[in-house]
């Protein structure tokens, strides 16, 4: 026994999560998680909760797709489930414009690689059947480009991120869907950052067959609960015909616990794996919060507060290069160039959780998930300005405060 180290109980402090995600979890979600009773994964209320979540998810996604449910885990779990329909040798065109679509491209190359290709470079296979189109960081994927490449390659699958959180760019979903329809490709979308922030209905994009999101960004649930996914009948037909190399992340099998059996809604789910009553309760509450807020209203609120943040950091001399409404990606002013990571580290040490970009070029990312109030945005701006000041920048704090007050009073006057 003497060589066993008993660590003290782990305490994790409260921080202001002002990055691309996870967002600051709503107190209602935490309460739902902590208040759930001890129950197994086949208990009636747990199963009923999962069916209610499924119905709320259909509203959130804007779809009548039967195969709409949550995949246990984070964003990459939902993406893995969706991308499992891609089999070795399948032709795929992937559009990347930042960190996350880059990692999605890696997943796709791993799935589409032949055995020989995988053995040649197990951690980074170069699959001949996959065409990766790299759009530069800071730019969006344009519909015209998708149309041109799909016309040339005529792939079975096409993939893009809706909102690329690495660079903070919104990609052309309408153009992507139209091109997929025109060229007969099955579209797959990483909607990890857009679901629960943007107001869109996936049924308006018939070129897209599969969608995957995450629990802890726009949906505002805890990480490692449920990643929302949705699949069209066309996707399910493809999977039914060809299968996939997974039990746990098999879209048809994973759907069973959510009460989707033989392609139809069933009264109750049947066992697929051990789900968590705590996770179900938290996810259920997160979905209720979003639907109570209203999808359109929530999207308007994000756009409004992102604009106030953008104007304030611009006043501080930063250059914003993003166009997402939940996240501002910026270049520091001249004198602070090259000190992005230092600034971010300093903020993080003071429990102000902003982020650098995770791939080149180095930029600063400030997110506003679940921070869409005047006081929260003001707090973020003041903390950021103080950090810039601590690094020696000449910050006109009064002017910035005035700019914020103007953003908000103009809005009040316009109402
Ligand atoms: C965050 C993110 C991911 C990864 O999600 P995890 O929850 O970390 O697994 C993938 N794609 C995009 C666009 C993201 O923003």
> Best substitution site from 103, 214, 229, 365 to test ligand 1's pocket, by max atoms within 8 Å of Cβ?
214
How many angstroms does the Cα of residue 75 sit away from the middle of ligand 1?
5
Pick the residue whose CA is nearest to atom 4 on ligand 1.
75
pLDDT, residue 4, reads 86
User: Rounded CA gap, 108 and 91, in Å?
Assistant: 10
Peptide bond into 361 cis (omega under 30): yes
Asked if residue 393 lies in contact with residue 317, where contact means CB atoms within 8 angstroms, the answer is yes
Two tokens, residue 93: 């065109």
Asked if residue 333 lies in contact with residue 200, where contact means CB atoms within 8 angstroms, the answer is no
Pick the residue whose CA is nearest to atom 14 on ligand 1.
192
Peptide bond into 239 cis (omega under 30): no
User: Rounded CA gap, 205 and 146, in Å?
Assistant: 15
pLDDT score of 182 more than 60: yes
pLDDT, residue 105, reads 98
Residue at token pair 């040339």: 152
* Ligand 1 atom at minimum distance from 165 CA: 15
How many angstroms does the Cα of residue 334 sit away from the middle of ligand 1?
31
> Best substitution site from 17, 100, 101, 104 to test ligand 1's pocket, by max atoms within 8 Å of Cβ?
100
Q: What proportion of the chain, given as a percentage, has pLDDT over 90?
A: 93
pLDDT, residue 414, reads 62
What's the average model confidence in pLDDT over 285-305?
97
Interstrand relation of 163-164 and 157-161 (parallel, antiparallel or unpaired): unpaired
Pick the residue whose CA is nearest to atom 3 on ligand 1.
75
Two tokens, residue 112: 């589409």
Two tokens, residue 195: 């679901």
User: Rounded CA gap, 15 and 47, in Å?
Assistant: 34
Stretch (H or E) spanning 42: none
pLDDT score of 392 more than 90: yes
pLDDT, residue 412, reads 65
- At residue 3 the predicted structure's pLDDT band, cuts being 50, 70 and 90, is confident
> Best substitution site from 165, 170, 212, 358 to test ligand 1's pocket, by max atoms within 8 Å of Cβ?
165
DSSP secondary structure letters along 66-87? SEEEEEEESHHHHHHHHHTT--
Asked if residue 212 lies in contact with residue 70, where contact means CB atoms within 8 angstroms, the answer is no
Contacts 24+ apart (CB under 8 A), 5-14: 13/351, 14/351
pLDDT, residue 1, reads 57
Instruction: Find out whether the beta carbon of 107 lies less than 6 Å from any atom of ligand 1.
Output: no
Dihedral-angle region of residue 166 (phi above 0 means left; psi in -120 to 50 means alpha; beta otherwise)? alpha
pLDDT, residue 110, reads 98
Asked if residue 327 lies in contact with residue 168, where contact means CB atoms within 8 angstroms, the answer is yes
- 10 Å Cβ neighbour count for 33? 22
Residues 135-164: pLDDT tens digits? 999 999 999 999 999 999 999 999 999 999
Instruction: Find out whether the beta carbon of 193 lies less than 6 Å from any atom of ligand 1.
Output: yes
- At residue 278 the predicted structure's pLDDT band, cuts being 50, 70 and 90, is very high
Peptide bond into 257 cis (omega under 30): no
Give the chain's domains with CATH numbers. 27-290 (3.40.640.10), 295-414 (3.90.1150.10)
* Ligand 1 atom at minimum distance from 79 CA: 10
Residue at token pair 């914003």: 320
What's the average model confidence in pLDDT over 385-410?
91
> Best substitution site from 192, 222, 365 to test ligand 1's pocket, by max atoms within 8 Å of Cβ?
192
* Ligand 1 atom at minimum distance from 161 CA: 13
User: Rounded CA gap, 75 and 82, in Å?
Assistant: 11
DSSP secondary structure letters along 134-176? EPPTT-PPPHHHHHHHHHHH--SEEEEESEETTTTEE--HHHH
Instruction: Find out whether the beta carbon of 100 lies less than 6 Å from any atom of ligand 1.
Output: yes
Residue at token pair 């070795």: 88
Two tokens, residue 415: 């109402």
Asked if residue 310 lies in contact with residue 201, where contact means CB atoms within 8 angstroms, the answer is no
Residue 76: phi, psi to the nearest 5? -65, -20
Q: What proportion of the chain, given as a percentage, has pLDDT over 70?
A: 98
pLDDT, residue 360, reads 86
- Closest by CA to 389, choosing from 322, 341, 332, is 332
Residues 228-242: pLDDT tens digits? 999 999 999 999 999
pLDDT, residue 222, reads 96
Instruction: Find out whether the beta carbon of 219 lies less than 6 Å from any atom of ligand 1.
Output: no
Instruction: Find out whether the beta carbon of 190 lies less than 6 Å from any atom of ligand 1.
Output: yes
Q: What torsion, rounded to 10 degrees, do the Cα atoms 378, 379, 381, 382 define?
A: 110
How many angstroms does the Cα of residue 359 sit away from the middle of ligand 1?
14
User: Rounded CA gap, 187 and 354, in Å?
Assistant: 33
- Closest by CA to 189, choosing from 197, 199, 174, is 174
Two tokens, residue 218: 């726009």
pLDDT, residue 251, reads 98
How many angstroms does the Cα of residue 159 sit away from the middle of ligand 1?
15
Residues 187-218: pLDDT tens digits? 999 999 999 999 999 999 999 999 999 999 99
pLDDT score of 305 more than 70: yes
Residues 54-110: pLDDT tens digits? 999 999 999 999 999 999 999 999 999 999 999 999 999 999 999 999 999 999 999
Interstrand relation of 130-134 and 92-96 (parallel, antiparallel or unpaired): parallel
């Amino acid at each position: 026994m003497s060589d066993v180290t008993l660590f003290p109980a782990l305490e994790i402090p409260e921080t202001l999560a002002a990055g691309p995600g996870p967002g600051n979890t709503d107190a209602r979600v935490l309460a739902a998680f902590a208040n759930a009773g001890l129950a197994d994964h086949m208990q009636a209320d747990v199963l009923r909760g999962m069916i209610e979540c499924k119905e709320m998810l259909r509203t959130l996604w804007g779809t009548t797709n039967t195969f709409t449910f949550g995949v246990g885990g984070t964003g990459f779990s939902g993406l893995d489930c969706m991308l499992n329909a891609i089999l070795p040798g399948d032709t795929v065109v992937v559009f990347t414009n930042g960190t996350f679509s880059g990692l999605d491209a890696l997943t796709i190359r791993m799935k589409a690689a032949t055995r020989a290709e995988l053995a040649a470079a197990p951690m980074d296979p170069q699959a001949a059947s996959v065409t990766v189109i790299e759009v530069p960081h800071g730019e969006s994927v344009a519909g015209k480009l998708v149309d041109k490449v799909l016309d040339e390659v005529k792939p079975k699958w096409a993939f893009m991120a809706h909102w690329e959180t690495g660079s903070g760019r919104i990609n052309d979903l309408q153009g992507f869907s139209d091109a997929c329809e025109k060229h007969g490709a099955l579209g797959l979308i990483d909607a990890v950052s857009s679901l629960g922030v943007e107001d869109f209905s996936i049924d308006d994009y018939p070129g897209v067959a599969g969608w995957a999101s995450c629990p802890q960004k726009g949906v505002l649930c805890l990480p490692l609960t449920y990643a929302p996914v949705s699949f069209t009948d066309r996707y399910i037909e493809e999977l039914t015909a060809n299968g996939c190399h997974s039990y746990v992340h098999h879209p048809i099998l994973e759907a069973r616990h959510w009460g989707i059996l033989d392609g139809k809604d069933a009264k109750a789910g049947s066992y697929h794996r051990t789900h968590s009553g705590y996770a179900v309760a938290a996810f259920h509450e997160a979905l209720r919060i979003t639907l109570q807020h209203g999808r359109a209203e929530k999207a308007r609120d994000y756009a409004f507060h992102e604009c106030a943040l953008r104007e304030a950091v611009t006043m501080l001399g930063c250059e914003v290069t993003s166009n997402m409404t939940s996240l501002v990606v910026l270049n520091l002013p001249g004198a602070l160039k090259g000190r992005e990571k230092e600034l971010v580290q300093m903020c993080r040490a003071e429990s102000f959780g902003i982020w650098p970009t995770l791939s080149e070029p180095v930029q600063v990312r400030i997110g506003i998930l679940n921070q869409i109030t005047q006081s929260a945005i003001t707090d973020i701006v003041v903390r950021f300005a103080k950090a810039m000041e601590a690094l020696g920048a000449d910050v006109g704090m009064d002017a910035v405060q005035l700019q914020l007050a103007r953003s908000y009073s103009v809005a009040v006057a316009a109402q």
